[in-house]
Amino acid sequence: MENGAVYSPTTEPHCKEPRQPCGCTRHRLKGWRLPAKVLQPFLSLLAVIFEEIVEDCSNCGGLYFFEFTSCTAFLLSLLILCVYCTVAYETFGKDKVEKVNFWAMLAIGVIFLLASIVLAATNSGLVHATIAWVFGFFASGAFLAEFVMEYWDRRKQSTREHPQNSGNTQGTAEIHPLNESS
């Protein structure tokens, strides 16, 4: 006991995993998720930019709705991307982040699609407004595509975890028959 070997394992400080200097990582966004998450704010930003370039409008209600929707979609998609890429992901928890992302993609995609349809219907032939709603359709497609892919992945995972019971028990042997004659 003179060498201190008995106390060595319990008195050594536990080393934490090394953190990256800025806390940013992209390892949670693997496969198709990283391009989708980068494409969503990019397309939303393009829709915002082209919508802001529109100088005159005869029926401005659709343009204002599209402006609000595209700006909100841009900011929310950027926020969700930041949550995935920072330590906020662990702070909130994987399940909560995934659930919020799943439903947010559906809501943003549907509202963005509706705003694009309204702008396309109320557009009076202005070039910049036309380009804006085209990018609006692309952006809403990106949001809805991620929702569909997430839904598909969840469904596949659910069927792997809970296989269907066929209900066919004719081939199984009965352990304790009901009418056993003794």
Whether the predicted pLDDT of 168 surpasses 80 = no
Q: What percent of the chain has pLDDT over 70?
A: 76
How many other C-beta atoms lie within 10 A of the C-beta of residue 31? Answer: 9
- Residue 8 pLDDT class (50, 70, 90 cuts): low
Q: Give the residue-averaged pLDDT of 55-76.
A: 92
Q: Which amino acid is residue 101, in one-letter code?
A: N
Helices (H), ranges, the chain: 8-11, 33-53, 61-85, 88-92, 94-122, 127-161
CA distances to 13, 57, 105 from 32, rounded to whole Å, are 40, 38, 15
The encoded tokens of residue 111 equal 């509202």
Instruction: Determine the Cα angle at 142 with ends 89 and 78, to 5°.
Output: 40
Name the one residue in this structure whose structure tokens are 């082209």: 50
Q: Parse the chain into domains and list their residue ranges.
A: 32-157
Cα separation, 20 vs 30, in Å, equals 18
